[in-house]
Amino acid sequence: MTAGGLRQRVFLLENNPKLEAYSNLTQALEAMLSRQNDRFVQLAQTVARFGATSETSGESALHDALAKTARALDQLNSRRREQSPGPPVELVLLLSGQETCQRSPGLQQARELLADRCSRDQWQILVLAVGAQAVEQALDLGISPERIVAVRPDARDVKRGMRWLEEALISLGTTGVLPDGWNRSVGGLRILRGDITHYTGEAIVNAANNALSGGGGVDGAIHQAAGPELLVYTSKLGGCPTGEARVSPGFHLPADWIIHTVGPVWQGGESAEPELLASCYRSCVARAVENGLSTLAFPSISTGVYGYPTDQAAAIALREIHRALAEQERLTEITVVCFNEAIYQTYLALENGAELTQNE
């Protein structure tokens, strides 16, 4: 047993000398796991065949992402043990390999273990599947698609998958459920239902007031989660006009930065509200790019007490986000975090409709 009370179970497949040598990415993952595998209680690894996908220097960023995910796992399971003793939440890392790997003793041992857990209903599991074959293996093991993060064998994608796992673990610890859409991304856009203060990417957007003084709704939630240091900082920024954006540190938030923007108050649509709302998204993207950021999360700006109709606001938001992802190579992922089910369903319906129109 480790200090955290978690059993360490690491299953490594036999190293078949006939297979290609490990890529830099695989070596980086192995090095990280050798330092962190007490936190990952389940690891089923196949021999990887990636090719040149990562520089060894990328190990530091990957290790940081893994360490954050491991800490979130520890915190979740510690909280679960205090509230209701039972089996821990467990993580599995699956790496794609050649077909011959899938018959190896290590993977078979992992299959038997997971089958035993399934039959006794004694486990909750999340999977990071690196590569197409790993996804197939996870599904073949009977793991629900809602619990699988599928990423390409690329260092940046693996880091992103680890970040998504961290978000999922935080959500399980605070709400007991996984966020809707937590493991899905299309063209760099992800739409979630959840709490934006739990976002673990580089920056979140705050729907602020002109004085940047905190308030209700998402603004109040962000100030509360970031701590009193945020108000001290924003009080020195001189406010923010509607449609523009200002940047502050994230302080106690998981995200490093907060981009504050002021959305328009709905006045029937005849007071330049659409133009001002679009400007909010463009200004936030501009501030993100200026600061070298690649991941960003928006709330649904102006649809709360400012009264902007959700369907109209969501249409503008999606248009501007897709434009940003197409024009800004630096931005690899933009997430919309919807606070309630109605807003979430509106964004999903509009996004699906836009995709259908593009495919026709």
What residues are labeled active site? 219
Rounded distance, CA 286 to CA 295, Å?
13
Q: Which of 298, 300, 288 is nearest to 331 (CA)?
A: 288
The CB density around residue 304, as the number of other CB atoms within 10 Å, is 20
Residue 358: count of CB within 10 angstroms of its CB: 8
Helices (H), 14-58: 24-36
Cβ atoms within 10 A of the Cβ of 290, count?
10
Answer for the pair 158, 149: CB distance below 8 angstroms, yes or no: no
Please choose, from the candidates 41, 46, 50, 295, the residue with its C-alpha nearest in 3D space to the C-alpha of residue 163: 295
Q: How far apart are CA 126 and CA 24, in angstroms?
A: 25
Residue 328: φ, ψ to 5° = -110, 100
User: Contact 339/298 with Cβ under 8 angstroms?
Assistant: no
**CA of residue 149 relative to chain centroid, distance:** 10
Q: 164, 156, 159, 171: which is closest to 127 by C-alpha? A: 164
